[in-house]
Amino acid sequence: MNILQILPELNIGGVERGTVDLARELLRRGHQALVISNGGVLVEELESTGARHIRLSVHRKSLFSIIINIAKLSRILQQEKVDIVHARSRIPALIAFFACRNTGTNFVTTCHGYYSQNFFSRVMGWGKRVIVSSSAISRHMIEDFSVPPERISFIARGVDLNKFKFLQRTENREHRTDAFVIGVIGRLTPIKGHKYFLQALAKVIRSVPNVKALIVGDISPGKEKYKDELLILTRRLSLDRYVEFTGRQNNIPQVLARLNALVLPTITQEAFGRVLIEAAACGVPVIATRVGGVTDIITDGENGVLVEPKDPQALAQAIIKLFKQPNLAQQLVAAGRKNVEEKFSLEQMAVHTIKVYEQVQKSLKILVIKLSALGDLILAVPTLRALREKFPQSKITVLVGRPYRAILENCPYINQIFELDSTKRTYQPIWAISALLRPEVFDFAVDLQNNRRSHLLSYLSGISKRYGYANGKFSFLLNKKIKDSGEALSPIRHQGRTLKLLGIESVKEELELWPQEKDESWAQDFLQKHRRQKTAPLVGINLEASFTWPTKRWPMENLAEFLDQLQESGIEAVITGKKESSEQADRLGQLTRYSFINALGQTQVMQLACLIKRCNVYITSDSAPLHIAYAMRTPVVALFGPTDPKRHALDSARQVIIQKQLPCVPCYKRHCREHSCMKQISAAEVFAAVKRLL
């Protein structure tokens, strides 16, 4: 794999050190390692490992700089053929996210701290995998940034045990004085709690007169006045001769070799505490505040000492205790080293991180968008089946309009359903659902709706690869598209042209539905209650097409004549449709002598499917019940008028398609004065088709 890590700068710090260490381990295991930053003192060390460094100003927060760097990084990803981008800080992560979206590169993040809840922080939860170094950060990302738990990977930071070697405290005397040396290592910023350490030290010197404190670390940008405050506090507490501010130190193992104890007095939720495992690896007993990820490393009294934050008295007592009880210190040292070897080695970190990379490479998350309508969603099932066969280990999510969820509730080819409130024609629901979809971090979207709303949805959801038809309806938002050939294709073959872009050459034209046992029972009970001739053939009739397509309806006069012919042949009929069609049913009852079973408005979708399943033949115009009949393997007589059966019907040996070959057919008009195409379908020819199928 070719792995690119991106962070603001490569100066001294836990994040930077971890970047260099991981690059070294990646190369050692046969992978490629590339790092992008604004440079720093660790660049030379990074390049000495064989890794490459590219300098970009990814530390700058200006919008102009971010946009420029997105374009630059996109070109680098393509030129270098990068497999995975691993972002370790917020602004670089934002740049990397959009560059990965442009190029289809996998995007991974590591959360190195507690982030404030703003837009720049939110991007740290957009990785296909979000790596955290402690359980505290894991909770933070789940609770505050709504990152799904399944996308979080817990990987503790690791220390190079060959570099941070265990030293008996009797060794290396040339690097130490006879003083009891205490160290605080970390950048100079208020959250690290230096002032509480100094206050504790003022108490310690009363019991440990020969004590020395090393405050190691550089000033954080924007915190220049903080060091002046610490110097003033040092003088006010009369600690000048006890405290040494060393500034940045490149050789941390050498610093640790001088220490009798390491203190981490952080007052905020520490993400991890890398210096704790470095000290433990070198055999230095540690004292830390009980915050955040520190508790994942230190068990109080077992491999270190924990105190409450902002408590100088407790901190002083812990230091004095280690000074007065050298045997306790040695016990903590032995347990600390063992803890690091078992849980926090660089090798373990590298192995677990590479495993995450491999999982990211193998796993796929697919979004299929089909918002409406009922029949069209049923026609999307073969596409879902083909996607599952092509990508058996993938997680497939379908975005549907709220009224149609029931169609896919038990679909074995999908893992998840999202709903869009399609009753609102504004764009507000699109913003809301895209905000829910973004954290899912889909690898690609297959847009089967192919309209403005669906194209906008796939784009706003942050999906890098968006497949669909180039139809001019905001299709510029798609980056994997195909033009409509204009050929009259069945709906499944039409979808199949998009799937060919994914390497799926053919789609089986077979519809499926998955009713529950309760739906089967309802249909059985309904017919048992209403049928008069249990052994007679049963014909189902869809009374209406869509209310927006009156041109698809078979005239009531023709239907009434057809019902009379059924009665003469001893065939029962059940009329299905929506409750709103009740007036039409009343009119039909006035036109015919036949007493039919009225199921109007009494069926939910899956109940209707089970009712159609029990029909010997089903008669319908070009509407959703036609596709339900296909799915339930019920022989069907399909009445086509203004629409083209080549585009809307499927090949089936169990069907008869009736359409009049008029000059105006197909016209795709929703309203027509003549309505000849449906009027000319006679009751006799429909009855003949039913007899043939029976």
> Residue 177 has what pLDDT?
53
**Same domain flag for 653 and 608:** yes
**Can you tell me the mean pLDDT for 116-127?**
89
Q: For residue 16, give the 3-state DSSP assignment.
A: helix
467 pLDDT above the threshold of 60:
yes
Residues 475-493 have pLDDT tens digits of 999 999 999 988 999 999 9
**Can you tell me the mean pLDDT for 49-68?**
95
Residue 350 domain-assigned?
no
**Same domain flag for 640 and 675:** yes
> Residue 116 has what pLDDT?
87
> Residue 224 has what pLDDT?
79
444-447 β-sheet, strand order: 416-420, 395-401, 365-369, 444-447, 465-469, 480-482
d(CA 79, CA 92): 19
653 pLDDT above the threshold of 90:
no
219 pLDDT above the threshold of 90:
no
79 pLDDT above the threshold of 50:
yes
- The answer to whether 503 and 588 are in contact (CB under 8 A) is no
R_g over Cα of the chain = 35
**Same domain flag for 245 and 279:** yes
**Can you tell me the mean pLDDT for 357-365?**
91
- The answer to whether 568 and 592 are in contact (CB under 8 A) is no
Residue 283 domain-assigned?
yes
Residues 2-14 have pLDDT tens digits of 999 999 999 877 8
98 pLDDT above the threshold of 80:
yes
**Same domain flag for 368 and 283:** no
> Residue 174 has what pLDDT?
39
**Same domain flag for 74 and 112:** yes
Last residue of a domain, one of 502, 525, 550: 502
25 pLDDT above the threshold of 60:
yes
**Can you tell me the mean pLDDT for 613-620?**
97
Last residue of a domain, one of 470, 502, 534: 502
Sequence-distant (6+) residues with CB within 8 A of 315 are 196, 197, 200, 263, 265, 287, 289, 307
526 pLDDT above the threshold of 60:
yes
**Same domain flag for 493 and 550:** no
Residue 31 domain-assigned?
yes
- Ramachandran angles phi, psi of 61, nearest 5°: -100, 0
175-186 burial: b if 16+ Cβ within 10 Å, else e: ebeeebbbbbbb
Residues 313-342 have pLDDT tens digits of 999 999 999 999 999 999 999 999 999 999
DSSP category for residue 292: T
Token pair 């019991």: residue: 207
615 pLDDT above the threshold of 60:
yes
How far separated are the first and last CA of the chain, in Å rounded?
61
Residue 163 domain-assigned?
no
553 pLDDT above the threshold of 50:
yes
Q: For residue 487, give the 3-state DSSP assignment.
A: coil
**Same domain flag for 13 and 121:** yes
**Can you tell me the mean pLDDT for 679-685?**
96
> Residue 660 has what pLDDT?
95
Residue 221 domain-assigned?
yes
Band (pLDDT 50/70/90 cuts) for residue 66 is very high
**Can you tell me the mean pLDDT for 287-311?**
94
Residue 512 domain-assigned?
no
> Residue 565 has what pLDDT?
94
- The answer to whether 367 and 397 are in contact (CB under 8 A) is yes
- The answer to whether 433 and 457 are in contact (CB under 8 A) is yes
| Residue of 260, 277, 280, 168 whose CA lies nearest to 214 | 260
DSSP letters of 96-112? HHHHHHHHT-EEEEEE-
Residue 159 domain-assigned?
no
> Residue 172 has what pLDDT?
40
**Same domain flag for 180 and 259:** yes
Last residue of a domain, one of 477, 502, 527: 502
Structural domains counted in the chain: 4
**Same domain flag for 661 and 555:** yes
Lowest-confidence pick of 111-125, 194-208, 349-363, 632-646: 111-125
> Residue 119 has what pLDDT?
83
State percent of the chain over pLDDT 90.
Answer: 77
- Residue-averaged pLDDT of the chain: 92
Token pair 């789940």: residue: 142
Encoded tokens for 288: 């830390």
d(CA 373, CA 458): 18
d(CA 456, CA 420): 13
- The answer to whether 20 and 52 are in contact (CB under 8 A) is no
- The distance from CA 16 to its chain's CA centroid, rounded to whole angstroms, is 27
235 pLDDT above the threshold of 70:
yes
583 pLDDT above the threshold of 90:
no
State percent of the chain over pLDDT 70.
Answer: 98
**Can you tell me the mean pLDDT for 618-641?**
97
> Residue 176 has what pLDDT?
43
**Same domain flag for 183 and 327:** yes
75 pLDDT above the threshold of 50:
yes
**Same domain flag for 145 and 186:** no
- Ramachandran angles phi, psi of 465, nearest 5°: -120, 120
235-249 burial: b if 16+ Cβ within 10 Å, else e: eebebeebbebeeee
> Residue 173 has what pLDDT?
33
| Residue of 275, 281, 272 whose CA lies nearest to 338 | 281
10-39 burial: b if 16+ Cβ within 10 Å, else e: bbbbbbbbbbbbbbbbbeeeebbbbbbbbe
**Can you tell me the mean pLDDT for 208-228?**
86
Q: Domain of 10: which CATH number?
A: 3.40.50.2000
Band (pLDDT 50/70/90 cuts) for residue 169 is low
**Same domain flag for 441 and 581:** no
Residue 161 domain-assigned?
no
Is this model's pTM higher than 0.95 or not? no
> Residue 438 has what pLDDT?
86
For residue 539, give its domain range.
517-693
d(CA 650, CA 627): 9
